[in-house]
Structures are given as C-alpha cells and as structure tokens.
Structure 1
Amino acid sequence: MTPTAVFEPIGHESLADAVVAQIEDLIASGILKQGRKLPSERDLAEMLRVSRPKLREALQTLEERGLVVTQHGEGTFVAALTGSAMLPALLALYERHEPAFFDYLEYRREQEGFAARLAARRGTSADKERISEILQENERAWREKDQLASQEADFALHAAIVDASQNATLIHMMASIYELTRKGVFYNREFLKSIDGTGRLLLEQHVELGQAVIDGDEARAEKAAHAHIDFVEESFRFGIERRRREAMAEKRRMLSDYRSASGS
C-alpha cells in the first residue's frame, strides 16, 4: 500500500490545523510509529492537497509539540515517543541479573497473549492479509536458510499481530520492546535456534500463532502466544543450566590438569 492511501486530502476550510490533527491521529493510533519517515514535503502536500507553506506551518506545530523531528537533508520523522523503555543502566542490569530477565519474559508473555487475543477478535481483512504474507515469508526464509530474512519475518509477525489488536497503547509500548529485542538486548534469536536445532519448532510456533489470528480464534491465538514465550523461557533456562554444567566440567578438567602437572 502506498502512502497516498494513508493521508487524506484536506478540505479548504481546514488547512494547517487539519493537517496537524490528521497526523496526530495517525501517530496516536500507532499507524505512524516512532522513527517512521514522512513522505517528502512535496509529496505530502500533494496527498493532503494543501499548499507547501501551510504544510510547513503544520509540521512546525507538530515539531513544537515533540511529535516529529526534521533532520536537514534527511526529511521529517516521527519522534521517539516511548524512548527505549529502559535506561542503559537498567538494561545492563538485566544482562547481569537473571531474575530480571525472566521478569521481562513474564511481562512479554502476558502482553503477547493479550495482543493475540485482541488481534483475533479485531483484526481486519487487511491485517490478516499482512499476517498471511509474513507467514509465507517466514516459511520461505526457513526453507532457504536465510537467517536475516527469518529474523526480520519473526519481528514483523509479532508487530503485525500487535498492530491488528487496534490498541494504540499496546502498539507503541510493544514497538519499543521489539526494537530492544531486535538489537539483541534481551536475547539472541540464534541461541533459540541452537536449542531448537533446525529452527523448525520456532517456525511452527509462528505459523500456529499467525493462523489462529487469521482464523479469528481468540483462545487459540492467546494459547499460541503463551506457548511461544514459554518455549523462549524454557530454552533459556536450559541454556543457563547447560553453561553452568560446562563451566563446572571445565574447572574439573583444569584441576585435573594441574594435579597431573604437579605430580600429585
């Protein structure tokens, strides 16, 4: 879908204030997310059918309200509205403190389930078509062993389901969480695949989740979302225990080598 279908022409009696109101509504509803670049000034003025001076006036108002930022030579972008959700010090603490990491998973489990249930209930035909396309991309990436495309399809699916929930607060908050996860702040997807082996289980979980939303089955969608996060948690607990055993085995080996070298 082109941006032309997103922005609606402005009536002559409205002008700058109406431009502001329409873009604010797109941001508030989660259609325009933080970091999203707006169309060029010329294209946007044409879509809205307002003069470029009136458009500049509207964009200035939006910038004064902290909703957009203009980067010279780059364009106008939706501002960072939810930040990074957590300060660097807290993120570093999560990396060192396992209980905090599992608190994050517990939080995400409930939000993912809530989003999936709402998406199954409220998702439009356009939402479901998008989810179906992402599932196809997910399967293609898995077949072709395209790691980058597989990861992007993973994030895209979760984001599409949250978008289909039609809950603006959930959309903005989860977008922030997904961005952190995308950067590997909370966990590395490759680690999950190492537990899974081929990544087939992850694929099957995503297909079940997406299809349940497409089918409009609220209970099944929520259950699939919970099962996916449960798998993530169980995998990391297994991984932590495996690393602990490996560390202990290495210490025993080093002690044995020391004893052999010292002749004791």
Structure 2
Amino acid sequence: MSVTDQAIEKIKDMIVSGALLPGARLPNEADLADLLGLSRSSLREAVRALTAMRILVPKQGDGTYVSGLEPHLLLESLAFAADVSQGHTAHQLLQVRRLLEPPATALAAHNVTTDRLLELRAILDRSAGEISIEEFVELDIEFHRLIADAVGNPVLSTLLGILSTHTQRLRIVRGISHAPAREQAHRDHETIWRALATGDAGLASSASAVHVAAVEDWLANGSTTQAPDSDPSAS
C-alpha cells in the first residue's frame, strides 16, 4: 500500500470511528499530519483523493470539512468510470442495471403519482416527435430518472443513473444503424408507462426487463447483427 493510500485509510478510520463526524472541520494541516504520523505532502495527496470521492469538502478560506456522507452523493464519484466504460465493462454495467431496474420499476408502479404520470406522458409525446438524437437521449434519461425517483430512494436513483450515463446512452443511439430502432425504444417506453398508469407492477417489471435486455443484447452482438424490429436505441 502506498504512503498516500495509508494516509487515506487513516483519515477514513477517523471518520468511521467517530473522531471526525459528518460536517466536522479537519484540524489544520500541521496538526493533522502530526496526529496521523504523516508527512504534510502525503496528507495533501490523501485530502485531494478524498475530496474527489466527495468524502471531504474544501471551503474557500475556511478549511476542509467532512461531507454529509450521504450515500447517493458518494456514489456519484463512480459516474466517470461508468461514463468511459466500453465493451465488456459496459456490458457488465448493463447486467447490473437489469438486476436493479425492473424491480425498481415495479416499486414505482405502486408509488407513482398522477402528476408524475403526466410528466412521463409529456416526455413520451415529445420523444415521438422529430427531434435530434441528443434531444431523444435527454428525454430518455429524464423518463427513467422520474421512474426511479418515484421509488423514493435516492441511493437507488443514483445507482441507476450511474449504470447508464448520458455518454453511454448517446453511444448506443448513434451506434444503431436501423431506422426503426428509436421507434422500438419508444414503444418500450409506452408499455412501461401503461403499466405504471394501471399500477400493474408485474407488467412494469417485465416491460423494463425487456427494454434493458434489448440494449444489453445490442452491446453483446453489435448493431449490424440485429433484426430491425429488435434494436434498442436508448436505455
């Protein structure tokens, strides 16, 4: 383990033990380095790394603080790794998404409000129009985000957002060559919406599973080997 990694672990141990509570200000650099038996340069590297993880939060002119440590905020640091993933790694992320999103959609069927259904309906109507790929992807992201948020669990919402980022979705849409692809994705969304509107959790889960599996199949086999009526164009 590198010196910087050791420094990171020592600061994390202070947080886990309660010596540093969420929202607490770190001691000044010299005192903390002495307390942990670290060089000031190693401590600085550790603080930078923990800041990138959102465990620590620097405040201009006021020192560095432990963040609120909310899980959904800490998980956002994984988004970059998901964003740049391709090939086998991207496929693995979709496998995890397939495990999480169908039951989440089923839960949403029990919790979704009339206002949320109207928001989803408006997104579907807009996505059926003559819009650019970028606009379609933005609407697709919003559609799935609203469904995940209906569950009322910000950790779940963040995880699902990480598992299929804007870059991934845009890459998928641009990579598919068949014209009916976007229409098929829109039909999948319509099926999911109808299941939510009727409170049918089983259908909501099944429709979501089919939708994600279509994207997963495209990544596994490539867009040129798919039949036109089975290509996904978004996630």
TM range (shorter): 0.5 to 0.7
Pick aligned residue for 2:199 from 181, 195, 216: 216
What is the rounded CA distance, in whole Å, between the counterparts of 1:120 and 1:86 in structure 2?
27
Matched, 1:113 2:102: yes
Provide the residue aligned with 1:177 in structure 2.
Answer: 163
- Kept in 2, the 8 Å contact 1:127–1:160? The answer is yes
Cα displacement (A) at 1:159 = 0.5
- Alignment gaps of 5+ in structure 2: 1-22, 24-63, 226-235
Matched, 1:128 2:117: yes
- Kept in 2, the 8 Å contact 1:85–1:177? The answer is no
Pick aligned residue for 1:229 from 212, 217, 234: 212
Provide the residue aligned with 1:66 in structure 2.
Answer: 67
What is the rounded CA distance, in whole Å, between the counterparts of 1:91 and 1:199 in structure 2?
22
Cα displacement (A) at 1:214 = 2.0
Q: Percent identity?
A: 21
Provide the residue aligned with 2:92 in structure 1.
Answer: 103
Matched, 1:158 2:144: yes
Pick aligned residue for 1:205 from 180, 188, 203: 188
The one-letter amino acid of 2:93's match is Y
TM-score between the two structures when normalised by the length of structure 2: 0.58
What is the rounded CA distance, in whole Å, between the counterparts of 1:185 and 1:133 in structure 2?
20
Q: Size of the alignment, in residue pairs?
A: 164
Provide the residue aligned with 2:37 in structure 1.
Answer: none
Cα displacement (A) at 1:103 = 1.9
The one-letter amino acid of 2:103's match is F
* Residues 149 and 91 of structure 1, relative CA distance in 2, 3 Å threshold: closer
What is the rounded CA distance, in whole Å, between the counterparts of 1:229 and 1:185 in structure 2?
12
* Residues 115 and 145 of structure 1, relative CA distance in 2, 3 Å threshold: same
- Alignment gaps of 5+ in structure 1: 1-19, 21-62, 69-78, 243-264
Superposed structure 1 runs of 4+ greater than 6 Å apart: none
Whose Rg is larger?
1
What is the rounded CA distance, in whole Å, between the counterparts of 2:144 and 2:114 in structure 1?
17
Paired residue secondary structure (1:83): helix
- Kept in 2, the 8 Å contact 1:195–1:235? The answer is no
- Kept in 2, the 8 Å contact 1:131–1:214? The answer is no
Pick aligned residue for 2:135 from 141, 149, 174: 149
State how 1:236-255 maps to structure 2 within 5 Å: 236-239=219-222, 242=225
TM-score between the two structures when normalised by the length of structure 1: 0.53
The one-letter amino acid of 2:67's match is G
What is the rounded CA distance, in whole Å, between the counterparts of 1:186 and 1:103 in structure 2?
18
What is the rounded CA distance, in whole Å, between the counterparts of 1:107 and 1:128 in structure 2?
26
Paired residue secondary structure (1:166): coil
Cα displacement (A) at 1:195 = 4.1
* Residues 124 and 233 of structure 1, relative CA distance in 2, 3 Å threshold: same
State how 1:79-98 maps to structure 2 within 5 Å: 81-85=74-78, 88=81, 94-95=85-86, 98=88
* Residues 154 and 208 of structure 1, relative CA distance in 2, 3 Å threshold: same
Cα displacement (A) at 1:161 = 0.5
Cα displacement (A) at 1:137 = 1.5
The one-letter amino acid of 1:109's match is R
What is the rounded CA distance, in whole Å, between the counterparts of 2:83 and 2:171 in structure 1?
12
What is the aligned-residue RMSD (CA, Å)? 3.4
What is the rounded CA distance, in whole Å, between the counterparts of 1:232 and 1:185 in structure 2?
9
